[in-house]
């Protein structure tokens, strides 16, 4: 086996920290969480306190301010432990970076620090019952009504969906523009009209 030289001492220290956390806080309970279809919010708070959420988000927004390799280390350790059901990777490495890249300054300051602590759990809603993950065929729409967007549609198989406080929703804002008429809309799950469905069985 070829030796990997991409990781340095700081990455291996982070790996040890992640491995200990997973061994103590996740692995003993993961099977039960899978059966229940939900991860307790308490473990998110523990992960945030341990510095395992949003490690590559800048410190000015409450993140770890580390390099992307720290995220890679955590992804590897979660995979090694067989505990991908906790959903940390999607929260830290898809949702948070989207907000960092495309969100307003107010959105970054409001949401990213709470995502780093685990107080707020993020999800992204792309897949639909009839369109799968073919984003050009999504039916969910977002229509402007004054200063607001009114969203209509259904999503399915959403990682972190039952826990999420904040969801990036893929919706059509201008159907005539095809792929260019699709937007990412940041939705707080306490908004009127937002509802969660039942847990769905997924294949491993």
H or E element: which one contains 168?
A: strand 166-172
**What is residue 201's predicted lDDT score, i.e. its pLDDT?**
61
- 4-13 tens-digit pLDDT: 889 999 999 9
24 to 31, 45, 47, 48, 100: CA distances (angstroms):
14, 14, 11, 15, 31
Burial 181-199 (b: 16+ CB within 10 A, else e): ebebebbebeeeeeeeeee
180 to 172, 173, 175, 176: CA distances (angstroms):
9, 9, 9, 9
Q: Are 57 and 72 in contact (CB under 8 A)?
A: no
**What is residue 204's predicted lDDT score, i.e. its pLDDT?**
43
Q: How many CB atoms lie within 10 A of CB 165?
A: 17
Measure the CA–CA gap between 20 and 77, rounded to whole angstroms: 10
Neighbour-count burial of 3, counting CB atoms closer than 10 A to its CB (0-12 exposed, 13-18 middle, 19+ buried): exposed
Worst-scoring range by mean pLDDT, 21-25, 45-49, 133-137, 173-177? 133-137
**Domains of the chain with bracketed CATH:** 9-119 (1.10.540.10), 124-188 (2.40.110.10)
- Going by C-beta distance under 8 Å and a sequence separation of 6 or more, which residues neighbour residue 88? 47, 52, 53, 74, 78
**What is residue 150's predicted lDDT score, i.e. its pLDDT?**
94
pLDDT greater than 80 at residue 110: yes
Closest Cα partner for 155 from 182, 178, 177, 124? Answer: 124
Measure the CA–CA gap between 112 and 96, rounded to whole angstroms: 7
**What is residue 132's predicted lDDT score, i.e. its pLDDT?**
66
**What is residue 203's predicted lDDT score, i.e. its pLDDT?**
47
How many CA within 13 A on the CB side of residue 36?
Answer: 11
- 29-81 tens-digit pLDDT: 999 998 888 999 999 999 999 999 999 999 999 999 998 999 999 999 999 99
H or E element: which one contains 116?
A: helix 105-117
Structure tokens at 195: 């509802």
- 128-172 tens-digit pLDDT: 888 766 777 889 999 999 988 999 999 988 999 999 999 999 999
Closest Cα partner for 115 from 136, 133, 97, 135? Answer: 97
Average pLDDT over residues 2-21: 92
What does pTM read for this prediction?
Answer: 0.91
């Amino acid at each position: 086996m070829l030796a990997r030289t991409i990781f340095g001492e700081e990455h291996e220290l982070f790996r040890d920290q992640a491995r200990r956390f997973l061994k103590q806080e996740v692995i003993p309970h993961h099977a039960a969480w899978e059966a229940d279809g939900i991860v307790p919010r308490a473990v998110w708070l523990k992960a945030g306190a341990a510095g395992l959420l949003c490690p590559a988000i800048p410190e000015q927004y409450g993140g770890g301010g580390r390099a992307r390799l720290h995220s890679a280390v955590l992804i590897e350790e979660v995979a090694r432990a067989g505990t991908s059901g906790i959903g940390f990777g999607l929260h830290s490495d898809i949702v948070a970076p989207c907000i960092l890249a495309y969100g307003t300054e107010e959105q970054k300051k409001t949401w990213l620090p709470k995502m780093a602590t685990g107080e707020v759990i993020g999800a992204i809603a792309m897949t639909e019952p009839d369109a799968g993950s073919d984003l050009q065929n999504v039916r969910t729409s977002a229509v402007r009504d004054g200063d607001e967007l009114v969203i209509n549609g259904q999503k399915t198989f959403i990682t972190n969906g039952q826990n999420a406080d904040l969801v990036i929703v893929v919706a059509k804002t201008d159907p005539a523009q095809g792929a260019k008429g699709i937007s990412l809309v940041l939705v707080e799950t306490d908004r009127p009209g937002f509802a969660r469905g039942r847990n769905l069985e997924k294949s491993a």
